[in-house]
Amino acid sequence: MTALLILFILMNLDKGYCTETRDQVLSITPKTQEQVDILKNVSTQYETALWQPVSHHYITEETQVHLFVPANSSETVQDVLQKHSMTHEVLLDNANELIEMQTKNDSTDPRSSSTFYERYHSLEDIYYWINRTTQDNPGTVKAILIGSSYEKRPLYVLKLSLNNRPNKKAIWIDCGIHAREWISPAFCLWFVQYSLSFYKQNQDITNILDNMDVYVLPVMNPDGYKFTWTTNRMWRKNRSGSRSSTCIGVDLNRNFDANWCTEGASCEPCSEIYCGAFPESEPESQAVADFLRRNKNSVQLYLTIHSYSQMLLFPYSCSLDEAENHNDLLEMVQEAAQRIRRYYRNTYKYGAGAKTIYLAPGGSDDWAYNLGIKYAFTFELQDRGRYGFLLPPSLISRACNEALLAVKTIALKVIEKT
Ligand code: ARG
Ligand code: ZN
């Protein structure tokens, strides 16, 4: 009996101890301007990471804020919220466990091969995978070195060319512009694997690959991605240093030449949406822009993969202007969203970027569009905030299949129209 009692006490002590040492994600909806200001203050003055919105400037009344709160600032943050009678919902109470789960993947695990695409992979693993994929598919997959990152890591694009027809057009897909959005590189790997396995098996992908080559950049921001594995899981930007500040990193999706650094971006190096010193100041964005400039006559469809929030977006994000082929673009994402709803019972919002989320100038999709790639999209994959950037590996396949369906739907329409 006493033994049981002691066990019971120990178990509860353990629980109490755990809740205090856990990283959490809170959802808070400020109701007044005062609460907005407090929340802005909390997210900038305390050691936290804002998940949504992307910068504290966009915190407004009656819109949900998702805030990552590491264990060591948990108590102080909760106190501040309580003092101002702000209620919060705990979205995640075990963020550190989730992070651990995501990084325990590993190619060293002997049972791993069958589930390779349902796990997250370190940068080293991804480079290894790129190598293996080209070696195993000598006639159909080539790796093209398009440049290197700030820390001199190579940027490889995989070119999938499954059919030898002359003068084929092409699709571009980049993943991992933002370091913490791990589902994005996972999707690029998924897409390549699916294309290689289901060409001549699945009608849609066969039709697409018969008509088009696909360029896949699995990790556009390798330095940032590496950093999320080693040091800070919530890192978004690249890792370049600036002369004017001790803060590190440029938001690569604000660094392109599309109304560069206007409202919706920041010229402050410490901001999560820092636009950089000038358009294409970063080697990563410059490499992509150079490649697309060289290949603009063949690339007809530009896709860039982000998370989270479940949205299918098209230009413009850098202004409230309507794209010249707005109705075509709208029809495409609408059909993609409809099919996702039908097959997977999941909801994706869609529309022009600026009107669907917020003004975000300097984005790669708007830049590609203005270059002349008239079908340009940003996908925001799962989820809508339940796990946010910490989507568990068990949900990778669903998230990727939904995105794959959207890619197929849109690519087939592009083929039809051109
Ligand atoms: N969440 C993305 C970002 O903040 C949205 C990108 C939308 N498109 C764009 N061109 N900004 O970068
Ligand atoms: Zn992103």
pLDDT given at position 21: 72
pLDDT single digits (tens) 163-172: 999 889 999 9
User: β-pairing, 299-307 with 375-381?
Assistant: parallel
Comparing 15 with 159, which gets the higher pLDDT? 159
Given a cut of 50, whether residue 131 has pLDDT beyond it is yes
Q: Global pTM?
A: 0.92
Neighbours of ion ligand 2 (CB under 5 A): 178, 306
pLDDT given at position 20: 54
Closest by Cα among 61, 123, 50 to 86: 61
pLDDT given at position 265: 97
Question: Long-range CB contacts (< 8 A, 24+ apart) of 164-167?
Answer: 165/210, 165/211
Q: Cα(69)–Cα(84) distance, rounded to whole angstroms? A: 18
Token couple for 257: 């030449």
pLDDT single digits (tens) 215-232: 999 999 999 999 999 999
Helix (H) or strand (E) holding 235: none
The answer to whether 324 and 369 are in contact (CB under 8 A) is no
Average pLDDT over residues 46-55: 94
The answer to whether 150 and 239 are in contact (CB under 8 A) is yes
The answer to whether 310 and 349 are in contact (CB under 8 A) is yes
The answer to whether 358 and 264 are in contact (CB under 8 A) is yes
Best probe residue, ligand 1, of 175, 255, 285, 317 (max atoms within 8 Å of C-beta): 317
Average pLDDT over residues 131-154: 98
Q: Cα(143)–Cα(49) distance, rounded to whole angstroms? A: 35
Please identify which residue in the block is written with the tokens 């929030």: 309
ipTM of the complex in this document: 0.95
Q: Cα(22)–Cα(34) distance, rounded to whole angstroms? A: 28
CA distances from 308 to 171, 178, 263 (A): 23, 11, 22
The answer to whether 156 and 144 are in contact (CB under 8 A) is yes
Given a cut of 60, whether residue 257 has pLDDT beyond it is yes
Write out the E strands in 59-116.
65-69, 88-92
The residue nearest atom 9 of ligand 1, judged by CA position, is 363
pLDDT given at position 18: 46
Question: Long-range CB contacts (< 8 A, 24+ apart) of 62-66?
Answer: 62/29, 62/30, 62/31, 63/29, 64/27, 64/28, 64/29, 64/385, 65/27, 65/28, 65/29, 65/30, 65/39, 66/25, 66/26, 66/27, 66/91, 66/385, 66/388
pLDDT band at 109 (very low <50, low <70, confident <90, very high): low
Given a cut of 50, whether residue 283 has pLDDT beyond it is yes
pLDDT over 70, % of the chain: 93
Taking the CA of residue 360 as reference, the ligand 1 atom at the shortest distance is 11
How far is ligand 1, taken at its centre, from the CA of residue 44, in Å?
21
DSSP string, 6-46: HHHHHHHHHHHHHHHH--EEEEE---SHHHHHHHHHHHHHS
pLDDT single digits (tens) 171-212: 999 999 999 999 999 999 999 999 999 999 999 999 999 999
Average pLDDT over residues 404-412: 98
Q: 215: which strand partners?
A: 159, 172
The answer to whether 391 and 182 are in contact (CB under 8 A) is yes
Average pLDDT over residues 291-310: 98
* Catalytic residue chosen out of the listed positions 282, 284, 380, 402: 380
The residue nearest atom 12 of ligand 1, judged by CA position, is 253
How far is ligand 2, taken at its centre, from the CA of residue 175, in Å?
9
Residue 380 a catalytic site member: yes
pLDDT given at position 375: 98
Q: Which of 14-23, 92-101, 243-252 has the least mean pLDDT?
A: 14-23
How far is ligand 1, taken at its centre, from the CA of residue 360, in Å?
6
pLDDT single digits (tens) 75-87: 999 999 999 999 9
Given a cut of 90, whether residue 7 has pLDDT beyond it is no
Mean pLDDT in the chain? Answer: 93
